[in-house]
Amino acid sequence: LIAVVFSMASAMFFEWLYRKLLHKPQMIGDLSAAVTGVLLAFVCPVTLPYWMLIVGNFFAIFLVKQLYGGIGCNFLNPALAGRAALVACYASAMTSWSKVDAATGATPMALLKAGDMEALTAAYPIKDMAIGFISGSAGEVSALMLLIGGVYLIVRKVISWQTPVAYIATVAVVTFLFPRGNDPMTFMLYNVLGGGLFLGAFFMATDYVTSPVTKKGQLIFGLGCGLITVFIRYFGSYPEGVCYSILIMNCCTWII
């Protein structure tokens, strides 16, 4: 909670500072910077030093959002771009996770990447994956809470269903059809419930500014995010692919 509040405050400060220095009208009242700060904290380890959150928010607000003209003009999701910058600069700190009992350990995605399904199922049963008794960032531990929040946004018509449904369904179908020598249903469930899939699908891929505005385009966008996520998990050196899949598809939004 402290990390989230700190990140949110620093993001709002950088937005205020940038517009103050360039003598532009202040827009921190729209709370878009606050959302960026919250999401950035959600995709970082809870043990990340606060000064690194400051660096990430500076990159997200100053370089990704405001230099392109502010809200409505940036072509990348600021929070994910900030996370990508932190991973590039501070890889060790960004890949150090705490377990529920406060001891550091491999995340479900790391075990899934290694193909150690026996250790994965022993350490993290499916029920724990759904509820949130697992290692990972604040925004990826509880699939159930993220699902409730995502459904709420859809019901309230804050977001449309096309992108998150297409995204999650694509990951589910591909991992079920190509389980890499494992039980298809188990392998699919760990891929869907693990990592930042639900957070990315509901709260980041649906960003108004960086995603398509047409319903057909949103389906294509979600499909692309799902495929790239699976490709990174299967063939990349990184165990997770949600962040980079959304950033890559952000760059394709204009043509979609």
Task: Determine the pLDDT at residue 103.
Answer: 44
DSSP-derived secondary structure letter, 252: T
CB 188 within 8 A of CB 182: no
Task: Determine the pLDDT at residue 218.
Answer: 97
CA distance 83 to 188: 26
CA distance 205 to 247: 9
Query: Tokens at residue 219, please?
Result: 């389906």
Give me the residues paired with residue 98 across strands. 104
pLDDT tens-digit profile, the chain (256 residues): 999 999 999 999 999 999 999 999 998 888 999 999 999 999 998 889 999 999 999 999 999 999 988 888 889 999 999 999 999 999 888 877 765 554 445 788 888 988 888 889 998 999 999 998 887 788 888 999 999 999 999 999 999 999 999 999 999 999 999 998 888 999 999 999 988 999 999 999 999 999 999 999 999 999 999 999 999 999 998 888 999 999 999 999 999 9
The maximal CA–CA distance of the chain, rounded, in angstroms, is 59
DSSP-derived secondary structure letter, 68: G
Nearest partner of 40 among 26, 59, 27, judged by Cα: 59
Query: Tokens at residue 54, please?
Result: 């400051």
CA distance 48 to 166: 32
CA distance 182 to 180: 6
Q: Which residue has tokens 């979609």?
A: 256
Q: Where are the alpha helices (DSSP H) in 115-241?
A: 117-123, 126-131, 143-155, 162-177, 184-193, 197-199, 215-235
Task: Determine the pLDDT at residue 137.
Answer: 85
Measured from the Cβ of residue 160, the count of other Cβ atoms closer than 10 Å reads 16
CB 196 within 8 A of CB 45: no
CB 45 within 8 A of CB 4: no
Q: For the whole prediction, is pTM greater than 0.75?
A: yes
In sequence order, the 6+-apart residues with CB closer than 8 A to the CB of 24 are 18, 70
CA distance 249 to 225: 6
